Amino acid sequence: MLVYRITGKKYAKDLNGTGAAMYGGRWNKKGSPVVYTGENKEIALLETVVHTPPMLVPALDILILEIPDDSITRIKADKLPKSWTKYPAPSILAEIGENWIKQGKTIALKVPSCIIHSSYIFILNCRHPDYNLVKLIEHKNFHFDSRLSK
């Protein structure tokens, strides 16, 4: 399966989850290296835009990664707490993510995006023993339309 990551050029080559481990995220706690990706370019872009300060248009790259189809844990919205879309994220989501990481059964966790509930993001566990099966298919510049930062 192909997944997409749009990120600042400065961080694009880091597929070790360094940023997520340093700061934590909706689905991981500080100290847990994961990589956030989207099921398509559009949700990957929206996920990047909501985390970019207004008026800042960073130089972006897009990465296309291939993950094993048989190493994905799926969580549907109806299995999540009612508050799962709130901002800031309820801590229970990071707990769910941490439990998945600790179980170590799959490389990817598929969860609905809190931006568009019918779209999915994939969190990749960089410490999974088979993480080396994640393949970088393409890495190139991404054109960011500055109107999106208004």
- Mean pLDDT is lowest, of 41-50, 51-60, 92-101, 141-150, for 51-60
Mean pLDDT of the residues in the chain: 94
Average pLDDT over residues 5-16: 94
Residue 55 has pLDDT above 70, yes or no: no
Q: Enumerate residues 6+ apart whose C-beta is below 8 A from 56.
A: 149
Residue 33 has pLDDT above 70, yes or no: yes
The reported pLDDT for the residue numbered 14 is 95
Tokens at residue 68, please? 């094993």
Q: Do the Cβ atoms of 44 and 98 come closer than 8 Å? A: no
**What is the pTM (predicted TM-score) of this model?**
0.95
Which pLDDT score is estimated for 38?
Answer: 98
Of 9-13, 39-43, 123-127, minimum mean pLDDT range: 9-13
Measured CA to CA in angstroms, residue 32 lies from 22, 28, 49, 72, 105 at distances of 8, 6, 23, 18, 16
Domain coordinates in residue numbering, the chain = 2-149
1-25: burial string, b at 16+ Cβ within 10 Å, e else = eebbbbbeeeebeebebebbbeebb
DSSP state of 90: P
